């Protein structure tokens, strides 16, 4: 299978050590099933990817007068201008690089073109000669972030199947999805690693897997933020070579890149150089040296043109040179440095006229380059029609929930921290506390010890549930941002799946801990009381987890680790531990109604000592047993009214729902604020 071998330039090849094994496997499957499986070759390429070359929908992108500014300070009174009325053209079937020094605005420009960034922007983006419909454009594009945000516990094939089930319609048969997945894995050199977990892949393999996941639904436009970061030179070549072949199949592929080597730079068809938010050059890569000569800034002999133009952009030769380059490129309006075959690849050339900002561009004649009467609306209307749907996602919400739950089950089975270590900690802590307070629950002279035990149980449930969420959810947040933007699923279904998946694990861990501690500490052996005790424990666990989710959804791991325990201190005080609730000042008493630990402690006390519990045992060595009668303990020490159990359940339920709803809206705000 001589696919992707020498199609680009310089004879650089895609890794193909697994292509022959893939061929043999498919031949065996075909012989076994007696069917062709759709893997016939057409001119040396598979039909699944090969037909994309001739029939793939194309998208010519033009942007003009793009400006972006960001607010500074706490109240955003001051602003910093990142992009300054920059123009550009991104032709179809081209591998395009956006280059520039650090802070030049290239990643910001990529975010704007992909639709990831929405606020603080002015200017226009056109697709095939018409103003961009953002929803339709997002359905036909994919954004691959600089860091590979993959599900580390899933294998390559499992990640691909999840992507296929979410990004392809439910009307596509499973066999067809498997064929698409296998073809992509073979093409990208991941077939032999299909059973390897994503966390155990090399850097280059993870980058290729990130690309493979977004290739499942065959996007028209692909944006990649510095795809070569952290890779060695050989792997960089392989990744860029792959991107070039994908571009030749009809896609528009745009990458940001910092400072490529000379051989890597030659692989790109087109380059757009930015500095300080201005365009210094846009056109073919092989026209960069002639362009620099035309502005009296010739590239030194044996010098990498990419290095030289970055040095110019950094101002190493004087900031007047930057101004000269901006003027020569007319801040991106000058299109003369495109090669003809690139300039008119789609037979639509958009005239960029600064005097017509906001007006629809006009189609240009393929020979003269002058605007013609045809506005190219037929092609763009087809583009819009193909991607115009009611929902951004390809599948229904119920199907999304089903797939996310299946993925969550796999992750739970393999997660050593959230599942196995969590269960082990609950069992070990239960045995430790049970040994320390053994037999305390049925002895009148140890009532205060038992009271301390109940509060220690609350602390255990609170810290293990809350801190585990605070520490682990931010990493899940990064994956959510990528997958949600690329239209894998809706936020509602993600949040619902996260909530449902953790219920069995939380119930098992809580049941193991509660059973051990309840029996070892000799609490009253009545099913009704244990049920009350276990119900309160579950509600406290879920409420603490929701509280951790609120913090983890908004703050980073470092800030969340500091903030969560800090906010827990007043909750402990308002629960009545160390401070009698009747002794609280009047202005602080309302705070006790916001502490879920208060409801949890009250619920425990009433489950153990309420419900008209009989007289407690007192040791024969004790001359006086003050708390022999549980009602006296309730009235004197904890200052609680009897029979408040269901009020405590209601209070915990209200706080649980309030925190869960708040965490959802904070999560949605976090996703929107990032854009």
Q: Are residues 310 and 428 in the same domain?
A: no
Domain endpoint, select from 316, 347, 378: 347
Q: Are residues 423 and 319 in the same domain?
A: no
- CATH number for the domain spanning 238: value is 3.40.50.300
Q: What is the pLDDT of residue 398?
A: 93
Contacts of 614 (CB under 8 A, 6+ apart): none
Q: What is the pLDDT of residue 578?
A: 65
pLDDT band at 301 (very low <50, low <70, confident <90, very high): confident
Q: Are strands 278-284 and 130-131 parallel, antiparallel or unpaired?
A: unpaired
**Residue 358 counted as domain residue:** no
**Residue 246 counted as domain residue:** yes
Higher pLDDT, 664 or 17: 664
Q: Are residues 455 and 557 in the same domain?
A: yes
Q: Are strands 95-99 and 45-46 parallel, antiparallel or unpaired?
A: unpaired
What are the φ/ψ torsions at residue 142 (nearest 5 degrees)? -145, 145
Q: What is the pLDDT of residue 153?
A: 92
Q: Are residues 534 and 612 in the same domain?
A: yes
Higher pLDDT, 23 or 162: 162
Q: What is the pLDDT of residue 5?
A: 36
**Residue 341 counted as domain residue:** yes
Q: How far apart are CA 501 and CA 405, in angstroms?
A: 7
Structure tokens at 206: 């993870």
Q: Are residues 442 and 331 in the same domain?
A: no
Q: How far apart are CA 145 and CA 527, in angstroms?
A: 54
pLDDT band at 624 (very low <50, low <70, confident <90, very high): low
Q: What is the pLDDT of residue 584?
A: 72
Domain that holds residue 570: 415-674
Query: pLDDT tens-digit profile of 218-276?
Result: 889 999 988 888 778 888 888 888 888 888 888 899 999 888 888 899 999 999 999 98
Q: Are residues 495 and 631 in the same domain?
A: yes
Domain endpoint, select from 347, 378, 401: 347
Higher pLDDT, 99 or 57: 99
Q: In this predicted structure, which of 23-32, 75-84, 287-296 has the lowest mean pLDDT?
A: 23-32
Best CA proximity match to 535, nearest among 611, 452, 604, 446: 604
Q: Are residues 338 and 427 in the same domain?
A: no
Q: In this predicted structure, which of 45-59, 383-397, 537-551, 583-597 has the lowest mean pLDDT?
A: 45-59
The pTM of the full predicted model, rounded to 2 decimals, is 0.80
Q: Are residues 116 and 242 in the same domain?
A: yes
* Burial environment of residue 389 by CB neighbours within 10 A (0 to 12, 13 to 18, 19 or more): exposed
Please state the domain count of the chain: 2
Domain endpoint, select from 326, 347, 368: 347
The CA–CA distances, whole Å, from 380 to 128, 138, 141, 348, 520 equal 5, 15, 15, 11, 72
**Residue 385 counted as domain residue:** no
Residues pairing with 282 in the sheet:
272
Token pair 């579950």 is at which residue? Answer: 538
Start-to-end Cα distance in the chain: 42
Angle between helices 305-313 and 319-329 (to 10 degrees): 110
Best CA proximity match to 601, nearest among 671, 540, 559, 655: 540
**Residue 371 counted as domain residue:** no
What are the φ/ψ torsions at residue 518 (nearest 5 degrees)? -70, -40
Token pair 């938010």 is at which residue? Answer: 277
Higher pLDDT, 102 or 494: 494
**Residue 160 counted as domain residue:** no
pLDDT, average across residues 551-561: 88
The CA–CA distances, whole Å, from 443 to 32, 450, 613, 629 equal 73, 9, 13, 11
Q: Are residues 326 and 430 in the same domain?
A: no
Flag whether pLDDT at 379 surpasses 80.
no
Flag whether pLDDT at 517 surpasses 80.
yes
pLDDT, average across residues 285-299: 91
Flag whether pLDDT at 367 surpasses 60.
no
Q: How far apart are CA 386 and CA 376, in angstroms?
A: 16
**Residue 184 counted as domain residue:** no
Helix, strand counts (H, E) of the chain: 24, 14
pLDDT, average across residues 340-347: 45
Q: What is the pLDDT of residue 17?
A: 41
pLDDT, average across residues 211-216: 89
Q: Are residues 636 and 495 in the same domain?
A: yes
Rg (CA), the chain: 32
């Amino acid at each position: 299978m001589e696919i992707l071998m020498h199609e680009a330039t310089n004879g650089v090849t895609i890794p193909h050590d697994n292509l022959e094994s893939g061929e043999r496997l498919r031949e065996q499957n075909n012989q076994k099933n007696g069917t062709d499986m759709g893997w016939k070759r057409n001119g040396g390429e598979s039909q699944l990817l090969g037909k994309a070359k001739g029939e793939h929908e194309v998208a010519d992108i033009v942007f003009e007068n793009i400006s972006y500014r960001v607010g500074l300070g706490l109240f955003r009174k001051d602003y910093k201008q990142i992009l300054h009325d920059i123009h550009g053209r991104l032709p179809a079937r081209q591998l395009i690089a956006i280059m520039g020094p650090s802070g030049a605005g290239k990643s910001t420009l990529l975010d704007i073109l992909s639709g990831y960034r929405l606020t603080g922007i002015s200017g226009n983006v056109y697709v095939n000669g018409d103003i961009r419909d953002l929803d339709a454009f997002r359905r036909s594009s994919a954004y691959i972030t600089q860091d590979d945000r993959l599900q580390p516990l899933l294998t390559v094939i499992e990640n691909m199947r999840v992507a296929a089930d979410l990004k392809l319609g439910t009307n596509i048969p499973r066999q067809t999805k498997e064929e698409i997945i296998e073809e992509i894995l073979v093409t990208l050199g991941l077939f032999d690693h299909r059973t390897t977990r994503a966390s155990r892949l090399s850097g280059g393999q993870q980058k290729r897997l990130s690309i493979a996941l977004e290739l499942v639904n065959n996007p028209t436009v692909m944006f990649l933020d510095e795809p070569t970061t952290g890779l060695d030179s050989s792997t960089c070549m392989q990744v860029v070579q792959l991107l070039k072949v994908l571009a030749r199949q009809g896609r528009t592929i745009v990458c940001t890149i910092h400072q490529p080597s000379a051989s890597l730079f030659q692989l790109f068809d087109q380059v757009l150089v930015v500095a300080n938010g201005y365009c210094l050059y846009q056109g073919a890569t092989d026209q960069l040296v002639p362009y620099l000569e035309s502005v009296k800034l010739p590239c030194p002999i044996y010098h990498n043109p990419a290095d030289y133009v970055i040095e110019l952009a950094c101002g190493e030769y004087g900031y007047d040179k930057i101004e000269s380059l901006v003027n020569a490129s007319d801040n991106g309006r000058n299109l003369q440095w495109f090669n003809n075959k690139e300039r008119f690849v789609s037979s639509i050339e958009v005239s960029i006229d600064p005097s017509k900002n906001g007006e629809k561009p006009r189609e240009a004649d393929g020979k003269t380059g002058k605007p013609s009467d045809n506005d190219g609306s037929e092609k763009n209307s087809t583009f819009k029609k193909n991607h115009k749907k009611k929902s951004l996602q390809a599948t229904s919400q119920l199907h999304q929930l089903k797939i996310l739950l299946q993925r969550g089950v796999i992750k739970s089975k393999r997660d050593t921290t959230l599942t196995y270590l969590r269960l082990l900690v609950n069992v070990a802590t239960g045995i430790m506390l049970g040994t320390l307070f053994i037999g305390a629950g049925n002895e009148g002279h140890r009532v205060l010890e038992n009271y301390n035990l109940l509060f220690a149980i609350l602390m255990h449930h609170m810290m293990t549930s809350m801190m585990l969420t605070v520490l682990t959810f931010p990493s899940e947040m990064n994956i959510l941002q990528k997958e949600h933007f690329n239209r894998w699923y809706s936020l509602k279904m993600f949040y619902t799946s996260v909530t449902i998946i953790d219920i069995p694990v939380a119930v098992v861990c809580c049941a193991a801990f509660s059973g051990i501690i309840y029996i070892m500490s000799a609490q009253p052996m009545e099913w009704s009381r244990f049920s009350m005790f276990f119900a309160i424990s579950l509600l406290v666990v879920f409420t603490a987890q929701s509280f951790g989710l609120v913090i983890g959804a908004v703050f980073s791991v470092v800030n969340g680790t500091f903030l969560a325990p800090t906010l827990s201190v007043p909750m402990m005080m308002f629960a009545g531990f160390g401070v009698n609730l009747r002794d609280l000042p009047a202005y602080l008493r309302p705070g006790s109604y916001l502490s879920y630990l208060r409801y949890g402690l009250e619920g425990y006390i009433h489950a153990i000592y309420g419900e008209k519990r009989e007289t407690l045992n007192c040791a024969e060595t004790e001359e006086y047993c003050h708390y022999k009668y549980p009602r006296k303990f309730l009235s004197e020490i904890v200052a609680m009214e009897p029979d408040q159990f269901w009020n405590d359940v209601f209070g915990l339920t209200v706080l649980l729902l309030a925190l869960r709803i708040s965490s959802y809206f904070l999560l949605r705000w976090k996703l929107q604020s990032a854009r």
